[in-house]
Structure 1
Amino acid sequence: MSAVTPDRAGLDADLDAARDAVARASASLVDLEGHPGYGLLQPGGFTGISARRREETLATVAELHRDLALYRRAVDAAVQARGTRTRPSADELTATQEALHGESVTVAEEAVPLQRRGLLGPTSQVTRTSADALLARMTAAFDAVSRVAADVASVWDAVAAQLGPVERALDALRAEATGLPGDAADVAALAARLETLRAEVLTDPLAHTGSAAPVPAAALAALGADVDRAREEVREARALRSGLDERVADLTARIDGLAALESAAADVAAQVARLVVAVPGLPVPARRAPALRSAVRDAHALARDGRWDAASTAFAGVAQDVDAARERAEADRAVLGGLLDRRAELRGRLGALRAKAGARGRGEDLALDTLHTRAQDLLWTAPCDLAAATVAVRAYQRGLEEGT
């Protein structure tokens, strides 16, 4: 029984499709090797699953090139077998069919070991496949490697998107710190932390496939906060350098005001000590202004030495200490002054009660006069016992009211 002659029109269509497949596959391989994700695979340095997948992917791409060359040769052989005649012979059509769809492609040839071949057996073993099967294998391999390239690029893009804001802030910090001493901001240490976060993901990007935020959020937030803090410190250092004299003058003026307030508190304390009997727990006004003046001089010296970060911190500390000392001096003065105010208030009340007694015709009341004398003696004696004087004034007031 004779073999069936292949259909010419169908075979010509298959041949056109095969030639088109060669062109498209060649273009796709060029696109693959120009893909950013594939480019990231080339240098190596991967760990974990990415290291294994990289080796597999590069080997597969090499196989794709080899298979494409085999497929191109098979198509060329089919074109040659087809010839250029409008009506090829049955033999030509059969040869074309065999080259294009038969197992005519040698994909491997291995030597057969002596112990596995007979006396007349073949010395090599050839593995063949068809151009169609080869194209199907290339299609599956291309899909696999393109997914790996896309996954690597996707993780790389996700890392870039996450680190972008901090990276830009770090660039801005680097620019702002230009011209300042090294202690103004440790840009190198912050940059090293950024690169560590990047490397922790990008050394094994395929372990993070599918994650929109592969960089740990907490570590990234901490780094961002430190960069922002460093930028503020740099800005303070720049502001300090440009306005150093004004800063010193401002703090000096504030300390002058504190010194005056502390002197006033000390004067009130001296009056209280002279005029009022000591009360347990009374504040003792301190003189903090001299130490703060010395602190300003020390901070100024740091600035003159170019240690702007340390100077900025020192000036800020002095400013806080001045505010705290002022609050303490005001509070001490208020507490101590309250005792003198209380003495004056009791004196005023006693005088008002005395006038009221006279208006009621009790100016000659001996018992009431005795109570008045007791209160008056306490209030006009230095130092004054405010507790006893308060009791005496209340007793005089009760005597006046009871006798009404």
Structure 2
Amino acid sequence: MSTVIPDRAGLDAELDAAREAVARASSSLVDLEGHPGYGLLRPGGFTGVSARRRDETLATVAELHRDLALYRRAVAAAADARGARGRPSGDELAAAYEALHGESVTVTEEVVPLQRRGLLGPTSEVTRTSADALLARMTAAFDAATRVVADVAAVWEAVAAQLGPADRALDALRAEATALPEATADVARWSERLEALRATVLTDPLAHTGTTTPVPAAALAEIDAGLAEARAALREARALRAGLDERVAALTARVDALVTVESAAEAVAGEVARLVVAVPGLPTPRRRAPGLRAAVRDAHAAARAGRWDEASAGFAAASEDLDAATAQAEADRAVLGGLLDRRAELRGRLGALRAKAGARGRSEDLALDALHTRARDLLWSAPCDLAAATVAVRAYQRGLEEGT
């Protein structure tokens, strides 16, 4: 089948198209190498599938430059064969066409090893292709390279989006720690953890293509929580420094109030010990105020020494312990005071029952009087056996009711 050579106008159009292809391919290669994703394909740093595909892509781009140079030379050869005359000859048109479409481009030339040569065989092997095939190969190679570059850039952008809030929180923590250098915020530790989390993805980004959340959510949540806690501690330290005297004064006043409550509980305990027979399980009031006063002093000393984290923790613990100690002292006083209230209530009830007996004309009832004497002796003895007194008052009440 004979080859149809285009006329001058057709060949000139093909030459123009080839020159345009050279310009566009050159521009596209510049854009590819200027893409942020291409800049990430630096030697080293990548592992796994990303390392392999990075090496392949860098080799592909190098081949693209070589092939583009070969294609440019083929187009130049076609233009030279066509010549500058307005009416080129048929041979010139055929030569130009062959330069564009024939297998006129030498891709490789390799020396044939001696052991593979025949006596009259060639000393080298030449691989040829056409400019058309070269352009098609360049197009496929460019598409493959751009996919890798775009995928790498997409993963980096996804990581940046996921870690952006944590990065900003770390920057804020660093700024706050700089403003309060005496506090012991471990900025370096959180920075290292964040970078390690980033590296788990970015050392092999192509293993994480196709997802907008490549960073493990649980690990990121842990870092977010830690940064928030560290910043809260710094804010607490800053607030503590600004209101140290007020904080100490408030806690000291609470310790003084605890002394009052504990003293009252001890006083009630002393009254119960004197007036009521011991009951199993009764609380024994304790003096926690002296220890808590010392804790407040220690926290204050830590603050004056610039150990804000220690001071903050000390004040917080003292505040919690004051709440607990005050609640316990009030509970102890209520339980112990309940025994004295029970004794007074039984005395009052016995008096009311005695008055009722008189109103019913039973003041001289010897049996009823004996029940009253028994209950009265128990209630007015010290210490009082409340259990026995309760039984005695009920017995007196039953005797009064039965004799009605």
Instruction: Provide TM-score, normalisation by structure 1.
Output: 0.97
Output the CA distance in 1 between the equivalents of 2:193 and 2:183.
17
Aligned to 2:35: 35
Aligned to 1:51: 51
Verify the 8 A CA contact 2:343 2:386 in the aligned structure 1.
yes
Unaligned stretches of 5+ residues in structure 1 = none
Kindly provide the amino acid, as one letter, of the partner of residue 21 in structure 1.
A
Aligned to 1:23: 23
Output the CA distance in 1 between the equivalents of 2:200 and 2:292.
48
* 1:179-201 CA-partner distances (Å, limit 9, x unpaired): 32465310100000000001111
Aligned to 1:371: 371
Verify the 8 A CA contact 2:233 2:309 in the aligned structure 1.
yes
- 1:335 matches 2:335: yes
What percent identity do the matched residue pairs reach? 80
Kindly provide the amino acid, as one letter, of the partner of residue 280 in structure 1.
P
* 1:60-115 CA-partner distances (Å, limit 9, x unpaired): 10110010011011111112222333432111110111010001111111111122
1:26 to partner: Cα distance: 0.6
Aligned to 1:142: 142
Verify the 8 A CA contact 1:184 1:233 in the aligned structure 2.
no
Correspondence list, 1:256-335, <5 A: 256-335=256-335
1:117 to partner: Cα distance: 2.0
Kindly provide the amino acid, as one letter, of the partner of residue 283 in structure 2.
P
Output the CA distance in 2 between the equivalents of 1:50 and 1:259.
69
Kindly provide the amino acid, as one letter, of the partner of residue 368 in structure 2.
L
Verify the 8 A CA contact 1:184 1:237 in the aligned structure 2.
no
1:367 to partner: Cα distance: 1.1
Kindly provide the amino acid, as one letter, of the partner of residue 262 in structure 2.
E
1:304 to partner: Cα distance: 1.5
- 1:126 matches 2:133: no
1:400 to partner: Cα distance: 0.7
* 1:241-263 CA-partner distances (Å, limit 9, x unpaired): 11111111111000000010000
Structure 1 residues 186 and 94: CA distance shift in structure 2, 3 A: same
Output the CA distance in 1 between the equivalents of 2:78 and 2:361.
143
Verify the 8 A CA contact 2:183 2:306 in the aligned structure 1.
no
Q: What secondary structure sits across from 2:72 in the alignment?
A: helix
1:4 to partner: Cα distance: 4.9
Q: What secondary structure sits across from 1:236 in the alignment?
A: helix
Q: What secondary structure sits across from 2:384 in the alignment?
A: coil
Unaligned stretches of 5+ residues in structure 2 = none
Structure 1 residues 170 and 178: CA distance shift in structure 2, 3 A: same
Output the CA distance in 2 between the equivalents of 1:5 and 1:192.
68
* 1:141-161 CA-partner distances (Å, limit 9, x unpaired): 000110110011011011111
Structure 1 residues 4 and 170: CA distance shift in structure 2, 3 A: closer
Output the CA distance in 2 between the equivalents of 1:40 and 1:182.
39
Aligned to 1:103: 103
1:7 to partner: Cα distance: 3.3
**Is 127-136 or 180-189 further displaced after alignment?**
180-189
Aligned residues: 404
Kindly provide the amino acid, as one letter, of the partner of residue 373 in structure 1.
T
Correspondence list, 1:3-402, <5 A: 4-181=4-181, 183-402=183-402
Output the CA distance in 2 between the equivalents of 1:33 and 1:3.
39
Output the CA distance in 1 between the equivalents of 2:28 and 2:255.
77
Kindly provide the amino acid, as one letter, of the partner of residue 63 in structure 2.
E
Kindly provide the amino acid, as one letter, of the partner of residue 355 in structure 2.
A
Q: What secondary structure sits across from 2:341 in the alignment?
A: helix
Output the CA distance in 1 between the equivalents of 2:402 and 2:247.
66
Output the CA distance in 2 between the equivalents of 1:374 and 1:265.
31
* 1:257-308 CA-partner distances (Å, limit 9, x unpaired): 0010000000000010111111111100000000111111111111111111
Kindly provide the amino acid, as one letter, of the partner of residue 303 in structure 1.
A
Q: What secondary structure sits across from 2:218 in the alignment?
A: helix
1:325 to partner: Cα distance: 0.2
Output the CA distance in 1 between the equivalents of 2:371 and 2:161.
87
* 1:211-266 CA-partner distances (Å, limit 9, x unpaired): 22111111111111111110111111111111111111111000000010000000
Structure 1 residues 5 and 276: CA distance shift in structure 2, 3 A: closer
1:3 to partner: Cα distance: 6.7
* 1:298-347 CA-partner distances (Å, limit 9, x unpaired): 11111111111111111100111000000100100000000000001001
Q: What secondary structure sits across from 2:110 in the alignment?
A: strand
* 1:346-367 CA-partner distances (Å, limit 9, x unpaired): 0111111111111111122111
Output the CA distance in 2 between the equivalents of 1:359 and 1:43.
111
**Is 177-186 or 273-282 further displaced after alignment?**
177-186
Instruction: Provide TM-score, normalisation by structure 2.
Output: 0.97
Verify the 8 A CA contact 2:182 2:308 in the aligned structure 1.
no
1:2 to partner: Cα distance: 8.6
Kindly provide the amino acid, as one letter, of the partner of residue 196 in structure 1.
A
1:54 to partner: Cα distance: 1.2
Q: What secondary structure sits across from 2:178 in the alignment?
A: coil
